[in-house]
Amino acid sequence: MVMASPISVSINDVALVEGVAMRGANGWGICISCFAFFVTGTNAQPVDPDFDRQWYLDNTGQVVSGAVGVPGADVDVISAWSLFDGVENVTIAIVSTGVDPHPEYADRLLEGIGFVGDPNNSLDACGIGTHMAGVVGAAHENMSGTNGIAGVCPTVHILPIRVSNGCQSDKSATAQGIEWAVDRGADIILVGVAFTQGQNQLLQAIEYAASQDVMVVAPAGAVRDNTLSYPAAYANCISVSASTNQDTLAFFSSYGIGLDLAAPGQGIYSTWLNGTYSEVAEAGSISAALTAGTAALLKSYNPGLSSVALRQLMNDTAELIGDPTFFGNGRLCTGCAMRLMPPPPLRFEHDLLSPRVVTPNASSRTTIQLVDVSEMADVDQVFMYYRIDKGPWKVSPVRHLNDDSYELRWPAAPCDSTIEYYLSARSMSGTVILDPATAPLRTYKVRALDRLVLFEDDFESNKGWVVVDPTSSASGLWERVDPVGTSAQPEYDTSPQSGTLCYVTGQHTPGQSVGANDVDGGPVQLCSPQIPMPSRNVELSFSCWVESLGNGVPDVMDVEVSTDHGQSWLMVVQIPSTSGWVRHTHPLRDLVGFTGSSMRLRFSIADFDLSLTEAAVDDVRVTELRCSTASHDDNDDGYIDLTDFNEFFTCFNGPDVPIEYDVCRVFDVYGLLEVDLKDFSAFQRRFNPGM
Rounded CA gap, 53 and 525, in Å? 45
DSSP assignment of 129-188, as one string?
HHHHHHHHHPPSS---TT-----SSTT-EEEEEE-EETTEE-HHHHHHHHHHHHHTT-SE
Rounded CA gap, 649 and 654, in Å? 11
Same CATH fold, 347-449 and 44-340? no
Residues belonging to the chain: 691
Percent of the chain with pLDDT over 70: 85
Rounded CA gap, 26 and 36, in Å? 22
Q: Quick one: pLDDT at residue 95?
A: 97
pLDDT interval class at 356 (50, 70, 90): low
Q: Summarize pLDDT for 187-207 with one digit per residue, the tens.
A: 999 999 999 999 999 999 999
Rounded CA gap, 482 and 674, in Å? 46
- Of 593, 615, 621, the C-alpha closest to 528 is 621
- Of 36, 47, 34, 35, the C-alpha closest to 78 is 47
Q: Quick one: pLDDT at residue 642?
A: 81
Residue 536, CB-side half-sphere exposure with 13 Å CA sphere: 17
- 68 burial level (CB within 10 Å; 0-12, 13-18, 19+): exposed
Mean predicted lDDT score pLDDT of the chain: 83
Rounded CA gap, 559 and 577, in Å? 14
Rounded CA gap, 440 and 577, in Å? 43
Q: Report residue 243 CA to chain centroid gap.
A: 27
- Of 378, 355, 358, the C-alpha closest to 426 is 378
pLDDT interval class at 67 (50, 70, 90): very high
- Of 214, 241, 205, the C-alpha closest to 225 is 241
Q: Summarize pLDDT for 118-171 with one digit per residue, the tens.
A: 777 888 889 999 999 999 999 998 765 678 999 999 999 999 999 998 898 999
Q: CA torsion, points 300, 304, 306, 309, in degrees to nearest 10?
A: -90
Instruction: Give, for 399, the enclosing helix (H) or strand (E).
Output: strand 399-402
Judge whether residue 27 has pLDDT over 50. Answer: no
Under a CB-based contact definition with an 8 Å cutoff, are residues 294 and 332 in contact? yes
Residues 6 or more apart from 497 whose CB is under 8 A from it? none
pTM above 0.85, yes or no: no
- Of 378, 274, 406, 262, the C-alpha closest to 325 is 262
Residue spans per domain, the chain: 44-340, 347-449, 453-625, 642-686
- 3 burial level (CB within 10 Å; 0-12, 13-18, 19+): buried
pLDDT interval class at 498 (50, 70, 90): low
pLDDT interval class at 648 (50, 70, 90): confident
Rounded CA gap, 328 and 342, in Å? 24
Rounded CA gap, 34 and 591, in Å? 64
pLDDT interval class at 351 (50, 70, 90): low
Judge whether residue 576 has pLDDT over 80. Answer: yes
pLDDT interval class at 277 (50, 70, 90): very high
Q: CA 501 → CA 144, 492, 496, distances in Å?
A: 21, 8, 11
CATH assignment, 453-625: 2.60.120.200
- The residues with which 161 forms a beta bridge, in sequence order, are 95, 113
Q: Quick one: pLDDT at residue 253?
A: 94
Q: What is the CA radius of gyration of the chain?
A: 27
Rounded CA gap, 488 and 466, in Å? 24
- The residues with which 157 forms a beta bridge, in sequence order, are 91
**DSSP β-ladder status, 444-448 and 357-358:** parallel
Q: CA 498 → CA 93, 107, 493, 587, distances in Å?
A: 27, 12, 10, 29
Instruction: Average the pLDDT over each of 262-271, 533-542, 612-621 and give the range with the smallest value.
Output: 533-542
- 77 burial level (CB within 10 Å; 0-12, 13-18, 19+): buried
DSSP assignment of 327-347, as one string?
HTT-B--HHHHHHHPPPPS-E
Rounded CA gap, 665 and 647, in Å? 11
Fold of the domain spanning 347-449: Immunoglobulin-like (2.60.40)
Composition of the chain by helix, strand, coil, percent to 5: 15, 30, 50
- The CATH architecture one would assign to domain 44-340 is 3-Layer(aba) Sandwich (3.40)
